[in-house]
Chains A and B, each alone.
Chain A
Amino acid sequence: MDQATKRIAAHFTGQTRFVDDIDKPANTLFGYIVKSEIAYGKIESINIKQAKTVEGVCAILSWRDIPGKNSMGAVFDDEPVLAEDYVEFIGQAVLLIAAESKKAAVEAASRVEIVIKEMNPLLDIEESFAKKRFPFDPLHIVSGDVNSGFKNSDFVIEGELNIGGQEHFYLETNGAISIPKADGTLLVYSSTQNPSENQLIISHALNIESSKIEVVTDVIGGGFGGKETQSNWCAVWSSLLAVNCNRPVSMVLDRREDMLITGKRHPVKVNYKAGFNKNGRINSYSSRFLFDVGFSADLSRSIIERALLHLDNSYYIPAVKSDLYPCQTNRSSNTAFRGFGAPQAIAVIEYIMDEISGKTGIDQAEVRRRNLYGKRVRNRAPYGQMIKDNILGDLYSELMDSSDYRERVKQIKEFNSRSQWKKRGISVVPVKFGISFTTTFLNQGAALVNLYKDGSLALHQGGVEMGQGLYDKIIEIASREFGIVKEAVRICSTNTMVIPNTSATAASTGSDINGHAIKLAIDSLKERLTAFASNLYGIDIADLVWENSTVYSRKKADVRHPLPELIQKAYLARVSLSEQAYYKTPGIHFDREISRGEPFYYYVCGISMSEVEVDFLTGSHTVQRTDIVHDAGESIDPLIDKGQIEGAFIQCLGWTTMEELIYNDKGLLLTAGPDSYKIPGIADIPKEFRISLYKYNPFKDGILKSRAVGEPPFIYGLSVWLAIKQAICSFNSGHLPLDLPATKERILNSAYSYEE
């Protein structure tokens, strides 16, 4: 069995070690957080005398005990490691405790006396907007003249849409173990998507150079964006305690803590206006987005920027104007989550497409088709980038054929006409998702590949394996490019001491950026060894073939030289067996001042269709069938890519139908556990789920002609929400707007708007 296979097999036998499973040194302390129970208030006094007397307590730290900077904002300097004068959300850390046992830590926490003068928390997004509580400047885009667009339209609609947030609910909560070493360095095992940023934040807080902080990430139990910046908390807290006590400290959040402390997908309130013609074509679209960013900026600026760059989804809109406001509230700081702002923006334009269908009487799929970007005309996005690799129309045709759409629409009509309380609905949703970090400098990666004398190969790169199959793909890339059997390839844990200054494994770029770096390193290594082998075996460089851990001449394929033999000889001849490489994504740029540029290396496109049946007595629904045609390029591993599509779809289905963050009027998250926050279970998936990978895209931009797959398929889940809207429309054509998530309660409220 090769390493990649063994890694997965270990999941099934319970051998995989996540952070909390690592054998800890015997003297490891338990790290614990004293959290604010008030959403907004001034800390008047803190008394830890009683708490310190608890047996087994080793340290109780406040912000005053932080040797370096009490600031850990990822982009802006607005996020304290520990609260200073004010608390700004329920769950915010005020003190840290290290103790010999959990029992002692909890006991000590219960004896801490914190007096906080409670003030009115800011919880309403409109109020925040009215008070201009923006942690950074709002974002704007203008393209074309929306006003004349509205004037020249047959119809103009206006509306408001409320889009809920979403908890990541990675199955493994955030956690880290920090181990101080005798030489003044620190070793941190962290469940993070961004080891380099953990390192940087720890460095700032402890006032120690980055080079002395080794962050290791081996395997993480799901991330989805929720461990990009949010992993910084446990990493820095456990490090502060560890250095203070000079003992290892383990800090793994329990589920409730994780849900209270860490940020979520941004809830958004949108006001939109759209103008379109009788033929269903949209002329003009203006909107105002209010993003609930929580108490600090975190990554919100980039997230809102990605929303701005996905207002159009797959559609050509001649005139666009949008103002997107970051609204501060006294909640945990909302953050990256699969899609990174794009899902909220796309939800709005897809909702508008559905409304256009309703107003014009043109079938919803046909409305979408008529608005898709063109191949030669109507193919420039509002921010100026040309949609070069546009296969949207081809994907649409393939889906229409493979899903038997026309016939099913007929059947649905027939069903709806004879069923009083149950109605069916169907909806198509395409996606065009921009690939690259919109913050251009993040689009870089590095790799180190080491050959050993026996011919085995070790790979180091900056990406984190969080279940998405990055390691499998990297091994596959190395194996194919070097012509080495997978059994002889090993991939190493992500380690800040080996690959420095990495970008987060995020924005669907993990395989592209790190895979390209690995390929470049392999290319150089191979080039050097090719010269050596050519000499050694007397084979013309042009004829030399690397395959299955052998080298041979194309002209004499029966004489194969084993790779281990070649490498051994190369070593003796003093040829370097190690290579480092660096990759940056070419050709991308974006001017934030004017919202113009070519921010994306390429787009990933696809199209989905879901059919639902809604029971209008109970508001419940079932997804009867989902069809997806997704462009994965020349997929490196179709099984992995299908898994990404299925998982992303169900995650979005959860966001759009059942997952709801409910807060009380004090700002406390009431749904802070899986008992009340419901993610989809096994009974909630489509009864029939057909996914096909589209292989005919002539544009081959990604690594080994593959295409990024992490985020784009999330959008497909919107088809469930809009199919429900279609069903509601069959039940009551005068229904009210359908906010997201479309819970049973919302479905009934929308459906019965004119009845009772």
Chain B
Amino acid sequence: MKSSIKFILNGIPKEVDFKTSAHLSPHMTVLQYLRDVLKLTGTKEGCGIGDCGACTVTLAERDLEGKTVINSVNSCLILLGMLDNKHLITVEGVAKNGELHPVQKSLQESRGSQCGFCTPGVVMSAYTHYINKRSFTRESIESSLSGNLCRCTGYESITKALISLKSTSGKKESVELPELNCDELVFTRGESSYIKPCDLNSLLKYREEFPEYEMVSGASDVSVKHKNEQLFDAKIIDISDISDLKRVAYEANNLVIGSNVSIESVKDILCNLYSGVKEYLCAFASLQIRNKASMAGSVAGASAVGDIMPMLLAMGAQMKLSSAGSSRIVNCREFNSSYRKHILKEGEIIESFIIPVPSALRVLFLHKQSRRKDMDISSMTFCIGFELDKGIIKNVLTGYGGMAPIPRPSQMLEKFLEGRAFTEDTFIQAKDVIAKDFRTISDMRGSAGYRIMVAKNLLIKCFNDLKGEEDGSGN
């Protein structure tokens, strides 16, 4: 057990002992630490809730095999305690010996900055992209900068600057990491607590002892909540570095994904089962958030509009729920009990998601309807999977988000489609089924009528898209 963390900041080793530093706590955000404590003001706060990306920093850490992985993350969301054993690079650490980094140089030449406030975040997203040796194409730039808002440039000069880096090659810049120290971090001051267990058993033990503590990994929910509610005392169990929750394995006919695998990794893994997942999960928040957020975090929030649960429902996924000394496996359909409620018992956690490997006949359609393409909360989502056996629809599974108090399947639609011919007519008829099954509400993300209209239209889109895939013609 320890009360301190060790990390590297812009190449310089740092140790923070929370016991002896009264002004520091592990649950302050990395942004607060950088700006208020270290006076490293290059990293900006544009919103403080992970939506604008002005606070983007680069974080290097070990993966399960001990290899270094480097990601862009929102420093307004992640917590200081999470830096243990990692290397944090901020905008101040990119230029070396007074020389601008090629990313910075190129942005300057194209004047990819006007007022300059979003610029540090843009630089860090592009820099992370660069040191990961990804090529700079329009598409890949869009993906890496999906979480960076700029109000001045209109992005064109930024895009042009980065595309001109396309030919840059060379070996991957190495980022050193501190020596690994897996002691548990346990720290309490006044009303606040921060516990960072290192393995599953220990987590379950703490979970049993402190069931009211919030579990965080990407902290995208907790940090936003604390920002909005202006809370300063937090009780947190940080699960971000528990390897047991990050494993991925094929077991029998299932793909088992640890509950805390990042959504960006889940995207790549699930693409092996279903190609449509890529586009769908690319629209999940931003890259910075996907790099840290987990499926468990999305699902455990039990939001009516989360994008993960509808997808899991359409895949026929199950979940392994564990507590100290016991485990159970439930179908995702049973997980949400009522508005913002789920069946997790006190002391219980989501350990993994169990996703059946689809048969060759199985097809999947996923659609997120939102105001903006990237980094938006959906108005509604529709996911559906079924087997297409000689033109007949079989074993239908559906998942709807934003259409009811909980994300849920439409059993009426499943029943209706089962055994019917895969024709446009079938899907046109299915429109009425949807209208009967859901009573939607109006809010700032869309009116009830809009949600129903889109839900109906998506049946046609589903048919068109899947038919395109079948024909090999695409759409």
* A interface, CB within 8 angstroms of B: 5, 8-18, 20-21, 23, 103, 106, 168-173, 219-224, 254-256, 421, 466-469, 616-620, 639-640, 642-643, 646-651, 658, 660, 662, 670-671, 673-676, 678-685, 689, 743-745, 748-749, 752, 756
Q: Contact partner of A466 among B52, B115, B450, CB < 8 A?
A: B115
Are A643 and B114 in contact (CB-based, < 8 A)? yes
Chain B residue at minimum C-beta to C-beta distance from A748: B453
In the complex, chain A residues whose CB is within 8 Å of the CB of B461: 421, 617-618
Are B41 and A14 in contact (CB-based, < 8 A)? yes
Answer whether A617 and B151 are a contact pair too, CB < 8 Å, given A744-B369, A745-B450: no
Are A647 and B152 in contact (CB-based, < 8 A)? yes
> Which of B116-124, B129-137, B267-275, B350-358 binds A?
B116-124
Answer whether A646 and B154 are a contact pair too, CB < 8 Å, given A13-B95, A674-B149: yes
Are B113 and A12 in contact (CB-based, < 8 A)? yes
- B159 close to A (CB within 8 Å): yes
Are B150 and A617 in contact (CB-based, < 8 A)? no
B348-391 Cβ-contact flags toward A at 8 Å (1 or 0): 00000000000000000001010111111101000000000000
In the complex, chain A residues whose CB is within 8 Å of the CB of B185: none
Chain A residue at minimum C-beta to C-beta distance from B431: A756
Answer whether A640 and B91 are a contact pair too, CB < 8 Å, given A15-B42, A646-B156, A647-B154: no
Are A172 and B48 in contact (CB-based, < 8 A)? no
Highest count of chain B CB atoms <10 Å: which of A254, A640, A658: A254
* B interface, CB within 8 angstroms of A: 39-49, 51-52, 54, 90-92, 94-95, 100, 104, 107-108, 110-111, 113-120, 123, 141-142, 145-146, 148-159, 224, 227-228, 230, 232, 367, 369, 371-377, 379, 444-447, 450, 453-454, 457-458, 460-461, 464
Offer 9 A-B interface pairs, CB within 8 angstroms, sorted by A.
A12-B95, A12-B120, A15-B92, A20-B45, A467-B115, A618-B454, A649-B154, A662-B444, A756-B453
Query: Please, how many angstroms separate the alpha-carbon atoms of A173 and B39 in the complex?
Result: 19
Answer whether A171 and B454 are a contact pair too, CB < 8 Å, given A675-B377, A682-B155: no
Shortest Cβ gap from A263 to chain B (Å): 17
Are B146 and A683 in contact (CB-based, < 8 A)? yes
Query: Please, how many angstroms separate the alpha-carbon atoms of A516 and B156 in the complex?
Result: 31
Chain B residue at minimum C-beta to C-beta distance from A422: B475
Query: Please, how many angstroms separate the alpha-carbon atoms of A254 and B379 in the complex?
Result: 26
Chain A residue at minimum C-beta to C-beta distance from B376: A678
Chain A residue at minimum C-beta to C-beta distance from B42: A14
Main SS of the interface on chain A?
loop
Query: Please, how many angstroms separate the alpha-carbon atoms of A681 and B373 in the complex?
Result: 8
Are B453 and A255 in contact (CB-based, < 8 A)? no
Chain B residue at minimum C-beta to C-beta distance from A648: B154
Shortest Cβ gap from A511 to chain B (Å): 14
Q: Contact partner of A682 among B115, B142, B151, CB < 8 A?
A: B142
Q: Contact partner of B117 among A221, A421, A639, A658, CB < 8 A?
A: A221
In the complex, chain B residues whose CB is within 8 Å of the CB of A616: 457
Highest count of chain B CB atoms <10 Å: which of A168, A639, A745, A756: A745
Are A13 and B44 in contact (CB-based, < 8 A)? no
In the complex, chain A residues whose CB is within 8 Å of the CB of B379: 744-745
In the complex, chain B residues whose CB is within 8 Å of the CB of A680: 154-155, 372
Are A643 and B371 in contact (CB-based, < 8 A)? no
Are A681 and B367 in contact (CB-based, < 8 A)? no
In the complex, chain B residues whose CB is within 8 Å of the CB of A643: 111, 114, 152-154, 157
Answer whether A171 and B458 are a contact pair too, CB < 8 Å, given A618-B369, A646-B157: no
Are B104 and A12 in contact (CB-based, < 8 A)? yes
Shortest Cβ gap from A340 to chain B (Å): 17
Are A13 and B104 in contact (CB-based, < 8 A)? yes
Query: Please, how many angstroms separate the alpha-carbon atoms of A736 and B115 in the complex?
Result: 40
Query: Please, how many angstroms separate the alpha-carbon atoms of A468 and B113 in the complex?
Result: 10
Query: Please, how many angstroms separate the alpha-carbon atoms of A255 and B49 in the complex?
Result: 9
Pairs of residues from A and B, 4 with the lowest C-beta to C-beta distance, nearest first: A14-B42, A467-B115, A221-B117, A650-B154
Q: Contact partner of A12 among B100, B374, B458, CB < 8 A?
A: B100
In the complex, chain A residues whose CB is within 8 Å of the CB of B453: 748, 752, 756
In the complex, chain B residues whose CB is within 8 Å of the CB of A658: 371-372
Are A421 and B152 in contact (CB-based, < 8 A)? no
Shortest Cβ gap from B152 to chain A (Å): 5
Query: Please, how many angstroms separate the alpha-carbon atoms of A642 and B116 in the complex?
Result: 17
Are B464 and A676 in contact (CB-based, < 8 A)? no
Are A617 and B149 in contact (CB-based, < 8 A)? no
Are A12 and B152 in contact (CB-based, < 8 A)? no
In the complex, chain B residues whose CB is within 8 Å of the CB of A748: 450, 453-454, 457
Answer whether A684 and B114 are a contact pair too, CB < 8 Å, given A171-B52, A673-B49: no
Answer whether A673 and B116 are a contact pair too, CB < 8 Å, given A678-B372, A744-B371: no
Answer whether A675 and B447 are a contact pair too, CB < 8 Å, given A11-B119, A222-B115, A756-B453: no
Known: A12-B123, A255-B46. 12 other contacts (CB 8 A): A13-B42, A14-B40, A171-B52, A171-B118, A467-B113, A467-B152, A643-B153, A670-B444, A681-B149, A682-B142, A744-B369, A748-B454
Are A681 and B375 in contact (CB-based, < 8 A)? yes
Are A685 and B151 in contact (CB-based, < 8 A)? no
Chain B residue at minimum C-beta to C-beta distance from A259: B47
Chain A residue at minimum C-beta to C-beta distance from B445: A676
Are A13 and B115 in contact (CB-based, < 8 A)? no
Query: Please, how many angstroms separate the alpha-carbon atoms of A640 and B115 in the complex?
Result: 12
Shortest Cβ gap from A287 to chain B (Å): 29
